[in-house]
Amino acid sequence: MSNSVPEIEDTKLVFVFGYNAADSHPIVARRIVRAKEKGAKIITVDPRRTEAARISDLWLPITNGSNMALVNAFAHVLIEEDLYDKDYVARYTEGFDAYWDIVKTYSPEKTYKTHGVEPELVRKAMRMYAAAPDAFILYGMGVTQFGQAVDVVKGLSGLALLTGNFGRPNVGIGPVRGQNNVQGTCDVGVLPNIFPGYQPVTDPKVREKFAKAWNVPSLPDKVGYMLTAIPHLVHEGKLKAFYIFGEDPAQTDPDLGGVREALQNLELVIVQDIFMNKTALFADVILPATAWGEHDGVYSSCDRGFQRMRKAVEPKGDVKPDWEIFSLMATAMGYPMQYNNTKEIWDEMRELSPLYLGATYEKMEQQGGVQWPCPEPDHPGTPYLYKGNKFDTPSGKGLLFAAEWRPPLERTDADYPLVLSTVREVGHYSCRTMTGNCPTLKTLADEPGYIQINSVDAAKYGIANEALLWISSRRGRVLTRAQITDRANPGHVYMTYQWWIGACNELTLEHVDPISKTPEYKYCAVKVEAIPDQLRAERYLHEEYAKLKHKLSSPVK
Partner 1 sequence: MEKSTLTVCPYCGAGCHINLVTENGKIVRAEGAPGRTNESQLCLKGMYGWEYLNDTKALSPRLKKPLIRNSRQDDFREASWDEAIKFASSRLMAIKEKYGPDAIMATGSARGPGNEANYVMQKLVRAVIGTNNIDHCARI
Q: List interacting residues with ligand SF4 (CB under 6 A).
A: 25-27
Q: Is 340 in the site for partner 1 (CB under 8 A)?
A: no
Rounded CA separation 382/372 (Å): 6
Query: Which positions from 497 to 536 touch partner 1 by CB under 8 A, shown as an x/- string?
Result: -------------------xxx------------------
Is 58 or 244 the residue whose CB approaches partner 1 more closely?
244
With CB under 8 A as the contact rule, the residue among 107, 382, 389, 435 that binds partner 1 is 435
User: Under the criterion CB under 8 A, does residue 301 sit at the interface with partner 1?
Assistant: yes
Binding test (CB under 8 A) with partner 1, winner from 91, 437, 456, 514: 437
Query: Is there a contact between 112 and 118 (Cβ–Cβ < 8 Å)?
Result: yes
CA distance linking residue 371 with residue 169, whole number of Å: 14
Write out the DSSP string of 195-234: ETTTEETT-HHHHHHHHHHHT-S----S----GGGHHHHH
CA distance 462 to 471: 13
**Shortest Cβ 541–ligand SF4 spacing (Å):** 28
- Is 452 a residue that touches partner 1 (CB under 8 A)? no
Beta-carbon count within 10 A of 208 CB: 12
Residues contacting 481, CB < 8 A, separation 6+:
448, 449, 450, 451, 466, 467, 468, 469, 502
Candidates 87, 97, 236, 440; binder of partner 1 (CB under 8 A) is 440
Q: Is 542 in the site for partner 1 (CB under 8 A)?
A: no
Residue 440's binding partner among partner 1, ligand SF4, none (Cβ under 5 to 8 angstroms by kind) is partner 1
73 forms part of the interface with partner 1 (CB under 8 A):
no
The phi and psi torsions of 263 (rounded to 5 degrees) equal -60, -40
In the complex, least distance from residue 22 CB atom to partner 1, rounded to whole angstroms: 10
For position 235 contacting partner 1 by CB under 8 A, the verdict is no
Q: Which is nearer to ligand SF4, 25 or 522 (CB)?
A: 25
87 or 314: whose CB is closer to partner 1?
314
The nearer residue to partner 1, 409 or 426, going by C-beta atoms, is 426
Count of all residues that appear for the chain in the document = 557
Q: DSSP readout, 426-458?
A: TT--TT-TTGGG-HHHHTT--TT-EEEE-HHHH
Q: Does 448 bind partner 1 (CB under 8 A)?
A: no
Computed on alpha carbons and rounded to an integer, the radius of gyration of the chain in Å comes to 24
Shortest gap between Cβ of 378 and partner 1 (angstroms)? Answer: 20
User: Does 133 participate in binding partner 1 (rule CB under 8 A)?
Assistant: no
Does 323 engage in binding with partner 1 (CB under 8 A)? yes
Count of residues that bind partner 1 according to CB under 8 A: 156
Q: Which does 368 bind (CB under 5 to 8 A by kind): partner 1, ligand SF4, none?
A: partner 1
User: DSSP secondary structure string, 305-334?
Assistant: EEEEE---SPPPSS-B-HHHHHHHHHHHTT
Work out which of 55, 83, 121, 270 binds partner 1, going by CB under 8 A.
270
Among 97, 222, 236, 532, binds partner 1 (CB under 8 A): 222
Residue 226 lies near partner 1 (rule: CB under 8 A):
yes
* Contacted entry of ligand SF4, partner 1, none for residue 268, CB cut-off 5 to 8 Å set by kind: partner 1
Give the residue at shortest CB distance from ligand SF4. 27
Q: What residues contact residue 361 under an 8 Å CB cut-off, 6+ apart? A: 298, 308, 343, 346
Tell me whether residue 27 or residue 333 sits nearer to ligand SF4 (CB atom).
Answer: 27
Least separation in angstroms between CB 202 and partner 1: 10
What DSSP line would sit under 129-195, residue for residue? HHH-SSEEEEE-HHHHSSSS-HHHHHHHHHHHHHTT--SSTT-EEEE--SSTTHHHHHHTT-BTTEE
Compare residues 258 and 297 and give the one whose CB is closer to partner 1: 297
Q: How crowded is the C-beta side of 373, counted as CA atoms within 13 Å?
A: 11
Of the candidate residues 74, 92, 242, 494, the single one contacting partner 1 (CB under 8 A): 242
Q: Which of 155, 175, 258, 358 binds partner 1 (CB under 8 A)?
A: 175
Q: Which of 429, 494, 499, 523 binds partner 1 (CB under 8 A)?
A: 429
306 versus 523: smaller Cβ distance to ligand SF4:
306
Residue 386 CB partners (closer than 8 Å, separation 6+): 2, 166, 167, 172, 398
